[in-house]
Amino acid sequence: MTTDSQVSSDGPTGHECIQSYLKTLDGSPGVYRMLDAQARVLYVGKARNLRARVSNYARPAGHSGRIARMISETCSMMFLTTKTETEALLLEQNLIKQLKPKYNVLLRDDKSFPNILVSRAHGFPQIKKHRGAKKEKGNYYGPFANAGAVNRTLSQLQKVFLLRNCSDAQFESRTRPCLLYQIKRCSGPCVGRISKSDYAESVRDAERFLSGRSTQIQETLAKQMQAASDAMEFEKAAALRDRIRSLTSVQTAQGINPRGVAEADVIALHLEKGQACVQVFFIRAHQNWGNRDFYPRVGVDVEAAEVLEAFIGQFYDGKEPPRQLILSHPIENTELMAEALGSKAGRKVEITVPQRGEKAELVAGAARNARESLARKMSETATQAKLLAGVAEAFDLDGPPERIEVYDNSHIQGTNAVGGMIVAGPDGFMKNSYRKFNIKGDDLTPGDDFGMMKEVLTRRFKRLLKEDPDRDKGMWPDLLLIDGGAGQVSAVREIMEEYGVEDVPMVGVAKGVDRDHGKEEFHRVGKSVMALRRNDPVLYFIQRLRDEAHRFAIGTHRAKRAKAVGATPLDDVPGVGATRKRALLAHFGSAKAVSRANLADLKAVEGVSDKLAETIYDFFHEGS
């Protein structure tokens, strides 16, 4: 890496400001940033030759409308030189994701994708859905487009290969087969209905299937069925016949599975009226593992090549690219992007724009989906814009809110209390911005909704003031909706006044006297209680927002409660992980019995060393 430099510009702006930097630049590769008068980043770009690229912006004419506006707002620039153009490309995408500049194409929805994990932490491997860092021991297959695609594939694998999906703890505690065994979705390894070697062979077959070698599996199963039939083991032969049928059914149900494409992401773009949709199809092991659509932030006059290149760079920033990218449009720096992705993956990555054949058909299908998805999105956005304008009119706001935050709490008699925040805007629910708050207040009376709301909003505004004090990152709400009446509104107002936040409108949403859904009352600071017409679309919109906040808070509360129910004191003992916890529970029968055990008995547990036994004993007998 490199050198980083910034020259402040208090004088000229626009192309004159940019011109002033040329004498300080050479032909090195690197990344440049354009900043406005408040030092906010307007644009991040990369260059093979910084001086040549920046000189293009120094021209007073010949730019598109978007670039001309960007140049006119530029008051200073920052530069960072790199050793290679590939390094500059990778750095550019990192900075775009981090800084979210106003004039860059931005990928707004960038969640992780689920995989299938064949766990190797147990003698009888478990097959399950996995999302996040690949830390658990085992083999990973994916990515899949969404949880639904994973669940369908797992269901297929259960039918054909009869692998378990229960947790290790459930496996160890079973004394008789579960329902999945009864309906022929599991081979019952937990109760010895299948040998370890036979189960291992089923696991190998499942992994062959996930690697695209299903024909080989079918041939093997057919030979096994014939051998069983010849040996007059008709029950075994019938079971193998059923598995072959299930495998055939799976292959038929998978739909479009390309024969000539083993591993690729098919990426198609559709641009229309300043909006974009990118459709990604995941092809792995000659199978279609689902698709996802994305809606990058673009401008009216942006070109397809720029959108796709920006999308690819940001999309694979934290993901391993496949061996091939099949695109609907060429990008500006194909070889450079392929080199950057290849260096990240540690192998060759090919980028192609097919004109005919099977790959072109795949792209055409993805492009059709992108076009149809964008049409639906634009229709929904138009409706959403009308509703937001209606909200502004109903509550006397300065303009349609870009960000509405809705808060709700959930608990049972004060236990496992959580607060939930959901966010909505012009594009609908912004699920990446949802937040949960585990209520920590030790001085709260169980069930104190006012106190819980105070804690949630206190933490929210403290964080806002810390992370976005200048309110230029889009993190501040234009409207707060609170589930509750005058009491909750008053509690929130106290918090906002304490932190000097007095310009964020707030509305409390409470059911009417008879608690009738549809007769909601709206409470605002310093104004009388109001209501909306029963058939007003804005009322329905507010109800949907409140119901979504309630759903999110309830779901978070249930997850916390379930985790608490499954917790034991052993979870807090240093050095006791899942395996040793299972061994201790199997030996003593309960966590309480472990806590009462003497040191000699603890040392007798398989897998527990003398040192760990002393740690466990001291944990439960400290001070005795």
Per DSSP bridges, beta strands 521-524 and 506-510 are antiparallel
Parallel/antiparallel/unpaired status of strands 506-510 and 479-483: parallel
Residues present in the chain in total = 624
**484 and 536 part of one domain:** yes
Q: Is the pLDDT of residue 333 over 60?
A: yes
Count of beta carbons in the 10 Å neighbourhood of residue 507: 22
Q: Is residue 380 part of a domain?
A: no
Question: Can you read off the two tokens belonging to residue 75?
Answer: 């008051």
**Pair 69, 155 in one domain:** no
- What is the count of structural domains for the chain? 5
Q: Which residue has the higher pLDDT, 259 or 107?
A: 107
For the chain, the straight-line distance linking the first and the last C-alpha, in angstroms and rounded, comes to: 58
The CA distances from residue 429 to 8, 190, 405, in Å, are: 39, 43, 10
Nearest to 226 by CA among 214, 241, 215: 241
Distances (CA, A) of 86 to 1, 89, 92, 198, 223: 12, 5, 10, 49, 52
The candidate with the shortest Cα–Cα distance to 176, out of 192, 163, 162, is: 192
351 and 447 inside one domain: no
17 lies in the same domain as 94: yes
**Structure confidence at residue 255 (pLDDT):** 43
At 401-446, the pLDDT tens digits run 999 999 988 765 556 678 889 999 998 899 889 998 887 766 666 6
Q: Which two tokens stand for residue 191?
A: 């109760």
Task: Specify if 394 maps to a domain.
Answer: no
Give long-range contacts, CB 8 A cutoff, 24+ apart: 618-623.
619/572, 619/573, 619/574, 620/569, 620/594, 620/595, 620/596
pTM of the model: 0.69
Per-residue pLDDT reduced to its tens digit, 514-558: 545 567 899 998 888 999 988 889 999 999 999 899 888 888 777
How far apart, in whole angstroms, are the C-alpha atoms of residue 123 and residue 155? 22
Contact 181, 214 (CB under 8 A): no
Long-range contacts of 516-521 (CB under 8 A, 24+ apart): 517/543, 518/543, 521/485
Tell me, yes or no, whether 465 and 551 share the same domain: yes
Domain termination site, one of 375, 393, 425: 375
User: Domain span at residue 187?
Assistant: 115-253
> Picking from 34-48, 357-371, 498-512, which range would have the lowest pLDDT averaged per residue?
498-512
Classify residue 181: in a domain, yes or no. yes
Q: Domain ends where: 199, 232, 253?
A: 253
Last residue of one domain, picked from the residues 564, 588, 605: 564
| pLDDT bucket at 399, cuts 50 / 70 / 90 | very high
Q: Any idea what the CATH number is for the domain that residue 53 is in?
A: 3.40.1440.10
Q: CB of 298 within 8 A of CB of 310?
A: no
Q: Could you tell me if residue 549 is inside a domain?
A: yes
Confidence of residue 252 (pLDDT cuts 50, 70, 90): very low
Q: Residue ranges of the alpha helices (H) in 395-422?
A: none
CA atoms within 13 A on the CB side of 234: 1
Angle at 366 between CA 365 and CA 371, to 5 degrees: 100
Q: Are residues 554 and 587 in the same domain?
A: no
> At 606, which CATH number?
1.10.150.20
Q: In this predicted model, which residue has the larger pLDDT, 478 or 512?
A: 478
pLDDT at 312 over 90: yes
User: Rounded distance, CA 263 to CA 308, Å?
Assistant: 20
Count of Cβ atoms closer than 10 Å to residue 600 Cβ? 9
Which two tokens mark 93?
């995408």
Q: What is the pLDDT of residue 254?
A: 46
CB 454 within 8 A of CB 487: no
Residue 398 lies in a domain: no
- At residue 482, the 3 state secondary structure works out as strand
pLDDT tier at 171, thresholds 50, 70, 90: confident
pLDDT mean across residues, the chain:
84
Give all strands (DSSP E) within 173-274, no chain letters.
263-272
Q: What is the pLDDT of residues 91-120, one digit of tens each?
A: 998 899 888 898 999 887 666 788 889 988
Shared domain for 425 and 536, answered yes or no, is yes
- My answer on whether 433 and 540 are in the same domain is yes
Residue 469: asked if its preceding bond is cis (omega within 30°), the reply is no
Same structural domain, 414 and 554: yes
* pLDDT value at residue 380: 83
Q: Are residues 558 and 573 in the same domain?
A: no
Kindly state whether residue 330 falls inside one of the protein's structural domains.
Answer: yes
Q: Clarify whether residues 287 and 233 are in a common domain.
A: no
480 pLDDT tier (thresholds 50, 70, 90) = very high
Q: Is 383 part of any domain? A: no
- Describe the chain by its helix, strand, coil percentages, rounded to 5: 45, 20, 35
Above 60 in pLDDT, residue 253? Answer: no
Omega of the bond leading into 477 within 30 degrees of 0 (cis)? no
Q: Is the pLDDT of residue 20 over 80?
A: yes
Determine the residue type at 490: S
Residues 545 and 607 in one domain: no
CA distances in angstroms from 497 to 381, 404, 467, listed in the order given: 34, 20, 19
Is residue 470 classed as helix, strand or coil in its secondary structure? coil
Three-class secondary structure of residue 362 per DSSP: helix
pLDDT of 444 reads 60
Residue 343 included in any domain: yes
Cβ atoms within 10 Å, residue 65 = 10
CA–CA gap between residue 520 and residue 530 (Å, rounded) = 9
